């Protein structure tokens, strides 16, 4: 189990996670980007790497469509140099609503993502000149860095997932259980056809998780699900058996009245489809069940619950078992 947070998380909370990640016996920490928020994801990730000694640290994910590719490559190389072997770079197209708000339109995401990943690896190796319309470079000559950064792709849909199976080191999955199951099957089939080893590829599950204590926690869960469901393509809603009409109504209300108003329309069925909730033991039991589908790593949070620190501690303890030996969390 790993713990996750986004660039909307307060620096105070980020520092607490950084100080306690090792002692909580977590496998890793993942940092997600909320596009347009003030915090820089690479700066925040460096804080985690510098404060920890053991846990793996990943970015999950950044969109290369809103960044210069050379800046992205150099930032990732610097993070790898801070603590060799612990950093993982996650790439994704980006949230549909976020990109639209910035006026960014991605016309050929599969072809573009392929060339972006190839370009990043070429930049890290420092071999030859790099050009391409998709990566906005013209005969760029990188300096050799000898850096090898694992690339995880956080993408949705059969075409992009098939691409991840061919060129990435792992896939960050989100969405309803049936969708996750189908995408894992697709990756395995694709890698087998391409003659690629199955054990060289990792599956990471990151879905909203929240420890429920009372109805106030459920309301928090509904807010998160409203955002996630609104950003989910209709094709995925169909696979999950979710109501497209319900989600479209949520989208409409969100555009007009914001997340709080949209959350009032989220049914408990939709919460169940898009969010893992319950007490610490129930959350761990449900997340462990994904191992039977082939998931290698699960991420707890956000939104955690109304008391994020308590929720992380209790879930980490439940994951390790009641006899897990841990030091007192640092303030």
Q: Which residue stretches of the chain are H helix?
A: 11-20, 41-51, 69-82, 96-101, 109-125, 158-167, 177-193, 215-230, 234-240, 244-257, 259-263, 268-274, 280-288, 308-320
Residues 259, 125 share a domain: no
Contact 151, 77 (CB under 8 A): no
Q: pLDDT (tens digit, 9 = 90+) per residue, 137-194?
A: 776 777 767 788 999 999 988 999 999 999 999 999 998 888 899 999 999 999 999 9
Q: For residue 213, what pLDDT is reported?
A: 77
Question: For 143, which DSSP code?
Answer: P
Cβ count within 10 A of residue 329: 15
Assign residue 42 the CATH number of its domain: 3.20.20.30
Length of the chain measured in residues: 331
Structure-token match 């109805």, residue found: 215
For tokens 């699960």, the residue is 298
Mean pLDDT in the chain? 89
Output 231 or 184, whichever has higher pLDDT. Answer: 184
pLDDT tens digits, residue range 4-60?
999 999 999 999 999 999 999 999 999 999 887 779 999 999 999 999 999 999 999
102 has a pLDDT exceeding 80: no
Tokens 């390790």 map to which residue? 320
Whether residue 201 has pLDDT greater than 90:
yes
232 and 205 inside one domain: no
Q: Could you please report the per-residue DSSP string of 166-197?
A: HH-SEEEE-S-HHHHHHHHHHHHHHHHHTT--
Check the CA dihedral 216-301-275-317 and report its sign: negative
Residue 326 lies in a domain: no
Q: Find all residues with CB under 8 Å of 201, minimum gap 6, and list them.
A: 165, 168, 169, 170, 171, 187, 191
Query: Pick from 273, 289, 308: which residue ends a domain?
Result: 273
Q: Is 329 contained in some domain?
A: no
**Closest of 25, 2, 14 to residue 50, by C-alpha:** 14
Query: Average pLDDT in the 282-310 region?
Result: 95
Do 221 and 199 belong to one domain? no
Share of the chain above pLDDT 70, in %: 91
**Does 65 share its domain with 181?**
yes
Domain encompassing residue 249 = 213-273
- Annotate 17-59 with DSSP letters as a single string: HHHHTTTTT-SEEEEE--TT-SS-HHHHHHHHHHH-SSSEEEE
Q: What is the DSSP string of 103-114?
A: T---S-HHHHHH
Residues 241 and 278 in one domain: no
Tell me the mean pLDDT in the region 249-261: 92
Query: What is the rounded average pLDDT of the residues 240-254?
Result: 88
226 assigned to some structural domain: yes
Q: H or E element: which one contains 138?
A: strand 137-140
Closest CA to 151 of 175, 140, 167: 167
Do 33 and 126 sit in the same domain of this protein? Answer: yes
Q: State yes or no: pLDDT of 97 exceeds 70.
A: no
Nearest 5°: the CA angle 275, 277, 283 is 115
Give the count of domains, the chain.
2
Whether residue 192 sits in one domain with residue 222: no
Identify the residue with better confidence: 98 or 286: 286
pLDDT of residue 187: 98
Q: What is the pLDDT of residue 327?
A: 53
Give the end of a domain, one of 257, 273, 289: 273
Is 89 or 268 the better-scoring residue by pLDDT? Answer: 89
Query: What does the pLDDT read at residue 322?
Result: 54
Same domain as 278, residue 203? yes
Residue 23 near residue 329 (C-beta atoms within 8 A): yes
Is residue 236 over pLDDT 90?
Answer: no
| pLDDT of 96 over the 70 cut | no
In a domain, 328, yes or no: no
250 in the same domain as 282: no
The reply to whether 227 and 153 lie within a common domain is: no
Is residue 124 packed enough to be buried (19+ CB in 10 Å), middle (13-18) or exposed (0-12)? buried
Q: What is the pTM of this model?
A: 0.88
* CA-to-CA dists, residue 70 to 92, 126, 271, 318, angstroms: 17, 12, 40, 42
Helices 308-320 and 11-20, axial angle in degrees (round to 10): 20
Least confident interval from 37-46, 94-103, 211-220, 250-259: 94-103
Residue 63 belongs to some domain of the structure: yes
The answer to whether residue 25 is domain-embedded is: yes
> Do 71 and 120 share a domain, yes or no?
yes
Asked if 126 and 145 touch (Cβ cutoff 8 Å), the reply is yes
Burial class (CB within 10 angstroms; exposed 0-12, middle 13-18, buried 19+) of 282:
middle
pLDDT at residue 137, as a whole number:
72
Is residue 325 included in any domain, yes or no? Answer: no
Euclidean distance between CA atoms 37 and 30, whole angstroms = 17
Which of 111-115, 146-150, 273-277, 320-324 is predicted least confidently?
320-324
Whether 330 is in a domain gets the answer no
Q: Give pLDDT tens digits for 269-279.
A: 888 888 899 99
Q: Are residues 112 and 257 in the same domain?
A: no
């Amino acid at each position: 189990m790993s713990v996750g947070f986004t660039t909307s998380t307060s620096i105070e909370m980020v520092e607490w996670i950084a100080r306690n990640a090792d002692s909580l016996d977590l496998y890793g920490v993942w940092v997600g980007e909320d596009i347009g928020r003030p915090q820089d994801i690479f700066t925040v990730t460096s804080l985690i790497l510098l404060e920890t000694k053991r846990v793996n640290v990943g970015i999950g994910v950044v969109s290369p469509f809103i960044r210069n590719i050379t800046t992205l490559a150099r930032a990732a190389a610097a993070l790898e140099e801070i603590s060799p072997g612990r950093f993982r770079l996650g790439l994704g197209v980006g949230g549909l609503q976020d990109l639209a708000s910035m006026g960014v339109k991605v016309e050929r995401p599969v072809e573009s993502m392929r060339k972006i990943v190839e370009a990043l690896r070429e930049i890290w190796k420092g071999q030859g000149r790099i050009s391409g319309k998709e990566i906005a470079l013209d005969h760029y000559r990188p300096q050799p860095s000898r850096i090898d950064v694992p690339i995880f792709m956080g993408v949705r849909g059969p075409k992009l997932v098939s691409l991840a199976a061919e060129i990435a080191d792992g896939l960050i999955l989100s969405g309803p259980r049936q969708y996750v199951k189908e995408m894992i099957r697709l990756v395995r089939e694709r890698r087998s056809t391409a003659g690629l080893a199955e054990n060289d590829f990792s599956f990471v599950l990151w879905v909203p998780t929240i420890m429920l204590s009372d109805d106030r926690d459920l309301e928090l869960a509904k807010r998160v699900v409203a955002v996630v469901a609104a950003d989910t393509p209709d094709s995925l809603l169909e696979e999950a058996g979710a109501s497209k009409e319900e989600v479209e109504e949520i989208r409409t209300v969100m555009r007009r009245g914001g997340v709080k108003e949209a959350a009032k329309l989220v049914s408990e069925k939709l919460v169940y489809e898009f969010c893992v909730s319950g007490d610490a033991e129930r959350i761990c039991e449900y997340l462990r069940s994904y191992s039977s589908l082939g998931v290698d790593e699960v991420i707890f949070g956000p939104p955690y619950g109304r008391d994020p620190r308590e929720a992380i501690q209790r879930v980490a303890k439940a994951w390790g078992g009641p006899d897990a030996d841990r030091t007192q969390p640092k303030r």
